[in-house]
Structure 1
Amino acid sequence: MRYMVTGASGQLGSAVLEQLSTRVAKSDITALVRREAAATALAAQSYGTAVASYDDVEALTAAFKGVDRLLLISGSEVGQRARQHGNVVAAAKAAGVGFIAYTSLLQATVSPMILAVEHKATEEALAASGIPYALLRNGWYSENMLGGLDYAVEHGAMIGASGEGRYASAPRADYAEAAAIVLAGGDHAGKVYELAGDAGYTGAELAAMVAIASGKPVAYADLPPAEYKAALVGAGIPDGFADVLVDSSVRAGEGWLDDQSKTLSGLLGRPTEPMAETVRKAL
């Protein structure tokens, strides 16, 4: 059996490789990356490697030859991902890949989030391909909430536009382990996994966690979307990405990043890491 992880040098991909190698032989795992330097580094860790970008169907098809089970990790180029993922699916079909697991987004087919559009398109491409597949609809990564942690501790404030909405987040490592479990084998074809942390929290509750962990006062300030975007852009975040962050926060306020099914912990066979623990580690 041959396993491949795309985006294998990224944060999620590298964590999946680590987890997968505890379940199957490293000699059966191929890491797909975009750069030769990344391939060299992974080869030094005894992984098989292949080099191809999501834009190069010919290179992807060659890389996928002989692969039985493929993990398609969603790309990082928002606005290009539907096309790029379509290339991956087409190449996988041409190469005879037997199964694909795809890292999608919570409730992708109905979510109004900006980020959901390309995930929905990818899910449709998978359904049309005829390849057996599973959808790993990942919720929010806990790390996404901690990008401004140093600022929050220094200035005593965290900002957002999510109101009383709850984030059922989990750390990247938990999602990576779930992906490795599904990729390693078992009856997952046709399954849709809505994956999220066991316990949701509001922006105010997150600020309280940071205050406890840091020993300093930290409060949450809920801002109108336009003010939140202005603050993000003022902090140096590019305009387009700021739009995505604001939309995600607003949609979290509407409940689109909350999920109480505990599907993720069910796959893991253990509870997901509590956000308070993730905060403590980050500090």
Structure 2
Amino acid sequence: MTIVVTGATGHLGRLAIESLLAKGVPAGEIVGLGRQVEKIADLGITVKQVSYDDVDSLTDAFRGADKVLFISGSEVGKRIQQHTNVVTAAKSAGVGLVVYTSAPKADTTDMKLAGEHLFTERLLADSGLPHTILRNSWYIENYNVPQALEHGLFGASGTGKISASPRADYAEAAASVLVGEGHAGKVYELGGEPFTMDELAAEISRQSGKAVTYIDLPEAKYTELLVGVGLPQAAAEIFADSDRAASQGALFVPRDQLESLLGHPVTPLATSIGAALA
């Protein structure tokens, strides 16, 4: 069996490969695709330098693949064409199963960030390829704990619950799907231990011994703040919109499906904060 991991040189991709290896998949059966291949040269797997912009190189890399972990691209605004290239290549190469990392509640949410993910889910459905959708909620790493100690936490999510888990939890879940059976056609809503931003601030305060507060802002003001710290306007608007959606419950996802794929509880918030402070 050959498993191909796209986006393998990113944080989630590397963790997924490490989890596959930990589950006993031989290194010779794993192929990692990415742009900065030196980042995974130490894993002992086959590594290929491939971009989502190059459909021909993707097709070549997918040939002979039984399963592909399709990690969504990171360039918001470019993903429709890039993801079309990936699906086209997978279909041309005759991939047996595509496992795609999507966004929470992609088919029902009004969160702007989910638009390209929903497009990709529909693209996969129309392609006829056997596929599995992993709708990953937030990564706890989205929150910079050392920065929060210095400046506090800011956002526009109000008292909305956010079901976040470390990337490692989502990577392990993806690996479980890749080594398991019976996942084709399934859509999994995956989320970790839920918390509000006030609760996140309180946990950082408890463990650090330093008072950390959360300042909730109107969406437009949060957009201005993000632009002020260097984010492009379009990216700032998407991040602020995600917080607006979170305030209305868009990022609250029960943890049961993630725990089912993991075979153990999700990583507790307290553990994640402790690791970030270490």
Aligned to 2:95: 97
1:84 equivalent among 78, 82, 85? 82
Native 8 Å contact 1:32 1:50 kept in 2: yes
Q: Does 1:207 align with 2:208?
A: no
Aligned to 1:3: 3
Q: How many Å separate the matches in 1 of 2:274 and 2:43?
A: 30
Aligned to 1:274: 268
Aligned to 1:219: 213
The C-alpha deviation readout for 1:133-186, integer Å capped at 9, x for no partner, is 000000011111x22x3332124x311111110101111000000011111231
Structure 2, unaligned runs of 5 or more: none
Percent of paired sites with the same residue: 49
Amino acid at match of 1:190: G
1:153 equivalent among 149, 153, 161? 149
Find the residue that maps to 2:163 and give its secondary structure: coil
Aligned to 2:29: 28
Aligned to 2:12: 12
Query: For the structure 1 residues 41 and 252, does the alpha-carbon distance in structure 2 shift closer, same or farther, using more than 3 Å as the test?
Result: closer
Q: How many Å separate the matches in 2 of 1:273 and 1:247?
A: 27
Amino acid at match of 1:55: D
Q: How many Å separate the matches in 2 of 1:26 and 1:245?
A: 37
Q: Does 1:106 align with 2:100?
A: no
Amino acid at match of 2:208: S
1:33-44 matched pairs, under 5 angstroms: 33-35=34-36, 38=37, 40=38, 42-44=40-42
Q: How many Å separate the matches in 2 of 1:5 and 1:57?
A: 16
Amino acid at match of 2:197: G
Q: Does 1:256 align with 2:250?
A: yes
Runs of at least 4 residues of structure 1 off by over 2 A? Answer: 40-45, 149-152
Find the residue that maps to 2:106 and give its secondary structure: coil
Q: Which segment is superposed worse, 220-229 or 96-105?
A: 220-229
Query: For the structure 1 residues 237 and 43, does the alpha-carbon distance in structure 2 shift closer, same or farther, using more than 3 Å as the test?
Result: closer
Find the residue that maps to 2:184 and give its secondary structure: coil
Query: For the structure 1 residues 183 and 154, does the alpha-carbon distance in structure 2 shift closer, same or farther, using more than 3 Å as the test?
Result: same
Q: How many Å separate the matches in 2 of 1:101 and 1:45?
A: 21
Q: Does 1:140 align with 2:135?
A: no
Native 8 Å contact 1:51 1:63 kept in 2: no
Q: Does 1:230 align with 2:224?
A: yes
Structure 1, unaligned runs of 5 or more: none
Native 8 Å contact 2:14 2:40 kept in 1: no
Native 8 Å contact 2:255 2:266 kept in 1: no
> What is the CA-CA distance between 1:43 and the residue it aligns to?
4.3
Native 8 Å contact 2:12 2:171 kept in 1: yes
Q: What is the count of residue pairs matched by the alignment?
A: 276
CA RMSD of aligned residues (A): 1.3
Q: How many Å separate the matches in 1 of 2:159 and 2:43?
A: 45
Aligned to 1:168: 163
Native 8 Å contact 1:141 1:169 kept in 2: yes
Find the residue that maps to 2:53 and give its secondary structure: coil
Q: How many Å separate the matches in 2 of 1:224 and 1:269?
A: 39
Q: TM-score, normalised by structure 1?
A: 0.94
Q: Does 1:179 align with 2:174?
A: yes
Q: How many Å separate the matches in 2 of 1:243 and 1:278?
A: 27
Q: How many Å separate the matches in 2 of 1:200 and 1:191?
A: 23
